[in-house]
Amino acid sequence: MPATLPRKIELVCPAGALPSLKAAVDNGADCVYFGFKNATNARNFTGLNFDLEQIQEGIAYAHRHERKVFLALNTFPLDSNQTNWTAAVDRAAELKVDAIIMADPGLMAYAARTYPELRLHLSVQGSATSYEAINYYHERFGIQRAVLPRVLSLAQIEQLAANTPVEIEVFGFGGLCVMVEGRCALSAYATGQSPNCSGACSPDAFVRWEQTPQGMETRVNGILVNRYDDGEHASYPTLCKGRYTVKDETYYAIEEPASLNTLEMLPALAQAGISAIKIEGRQRNPAYVAQVTQVWRAALDALARDGERFTAQETWMDELNKVSEGQSHTLGAYYRPWK
């Protein structure tokens, strides 16, 4: 990689609501992604997402600042509600979004057939981890970008990107999950509602918070997920990040709370041939979006300027740690030297 690079990696930032969309745009996002207020998107929580008026205002705001807007239409319809998803495609085309992020092949077929001019991206929920799978989606449905699951090493990403004409987008910062995206089963087992169809892991209808003599307890459909001491930060309960008692020891038995942070790997990711960095966090507040977007904008600008001489500044890492789960970060699956 030359010492100086043109700015070419897009920064794709989350918008769970209109204030977050504006925060992302104002702080340097190249693209923002959002969802409708229903189960067609994988962040279907009360208080999140956009109604028609908010969508129109958000798209106008982003386009006025020459930024792109992507619609997350990335859950899977059933025979009983298929028309809700096709109607969402119709609405997206009417609104002139810059791309739809999709997971379901049947819905892709509808979009490609009905709106051939509409740009389609393969969602991380599609679980495509090989160039053969991505090329199939490209050849069959015209997918122009694929968002990779957070289970691939850097070497695997490099091999994949070298063997497909499809743009590759990877997660750069935000939450992790022990499940392969698109194949989540734990929340569905506990609640009877699949996140892949209803759009929410640990749906809020099943979540309970209760102050007890032992501390603040969080439950999902009656299952005790966590118990917090007074003054300890209590995060939204997800089953994979709960503390459980195993052989008389209580600890994060499945997954420690930590955020993926690939800032120090930016030169290697650029060499691997990625087209975009995605920030996770549509469920987070506008302050989070502003802070993370600002750091990553500065980092990507520095990468374009410095190339291989790029280094992740300590102040950037400190700022990101402030909003990381568990106040800590990890390179996740990207860094596996034995690969």
Residues 163 and 216: their CA atoms lie apart, in Å, by 50
The mean predicted confidence, pLDDT, of the chain is 90
Residues 220 and 226: their CA atoms lie apart, in Å, by 10
Q: H or E stretch including 239?
A: none
Report the range of poorest mean pLDDT among 174-178, 217-221, 266-270, 313-317: 174-178
The reported pLDDT for the residue numbered 6 is 45
Residues 100 and 122: their CA atoms lie apart, in Å, by 8
Evaluate the CA torsion angle 13, 38, 103, 175 in order and state its sign: positive
Question: At the fourth CATH level, which superfamily is domain 10-176+258-334?
Answer: Aldolase class I (3.20.20.70)
Residue 239, pLDDT > 90, answer: no
Mean pLDDT is highest, among 43-47, 99-103, 243-247, 327-331, for 99-103
pTM of the model as a whole: 0.89
Q: Where are the domains of the chain?
A: 10-176+258-334, 200-251
Residue 182, pLDDT > 70, answer: no
71, 89 Cβ separation under 8 angstroms? no
Residues 148 and 144: their CA atoms lie apart, in Å, by 13
pLDDT tens readout for residues 304-333: 999 889 999 999 999 999 988 766 778 877
Residue 338, pLDDT > 80, answer: no
Residue 18, pLDDT > 70, answer: yes
The reported pLDDT for the residue numbered 317 is 93
Residue predicted with more confidence, 4 or 279: 279
pLDDT tens readout for residues 59-80: 999 999 999 999 999 999 988 8
Phi, psi values for residue 222, rounded to 5°: 85, -15
The reported pLDDT for the residue numbered 330 is 81
Encoded amino acid at 339, one letter: K
Residue 130, pLDDT > 70, answer: yes
Residue 98, pLDDT > 80, answer: yes
Using CA atoms of 136, 141, 142, 146 in order, give the dihedral in degrees to the nearest 10: -60
Rg of the chain in Å (alpha carbons): 20
2 pLDDT band (50/70/90 cuts)?
very low
The reported pLDDT for the residue numbered 131 is 97
- DSSP letter string, 219-232: EETTEEEEEE-TTS
The reported pLDDT for the residue numbered 4 is 47
CA 117 to chain centre: 25
The reported pLDDT for the residue numbered 30 is 98
Rounded mean pLDDT of 83-90?
96
114, 95 Cβ separation under 8 angstroms? no
Q: What is the DSSP letter of 81?
A: T
Task: Measure the CA angle with vertex 230, ends 225 and 236; round to 5°.
Answer: 35
Q: What percent of the chain has pLDDT over 70?
A: 95
Task: Measure the CA angle with vertex 88, ends 86 and 91; round to 5°.
Answer: 115
309, 284 Cβ separation under 8 angstroms? no
Q: Is 336 helix (H, G, I), strand (E, B) or coil?
A: coil
Q: Is 258 helix (H, G, I), strand (E, B) or coil?
A: coil
Residue predicted with more confidence, 206 or 179: 206
Encoded amino acid at 202, one letter: S
Residue 203, pLDDT > 90, answer: no
The reported pLDDT for the residue numbered 45 is 81
Q: Mark 260-289 as b/e (b = at least 16 C-beta within 10 Å).
A: bbbbbbbbbbbbbebbbbbbbbbbbebebb
Q: What percent of the chain has pLDDT over 90?
A: 67
Using CA atoms of 183, 184, 189, 191 in order, give the dihedral in degrees to the nearest 10: -130
The reported pLDDT for the residue numbered 200 is 78
180 pLDDT band (50/70/90 cuts)?
low
Number of neighbouring beta carbons within 10 Å of residue 20: 27
Report the range of poorest mean pLDDT among 35-39, 200-204, 272-276: 200-204
Residue 297, pLDDT > 90, answer: yes
Q: Is 183 helix (H, G, I), strand (E, B) or coil?
A: coil
331, 260 Cβ separation under 8 angstroms? yes
Residue 7, pLDDT > 90, answer: no
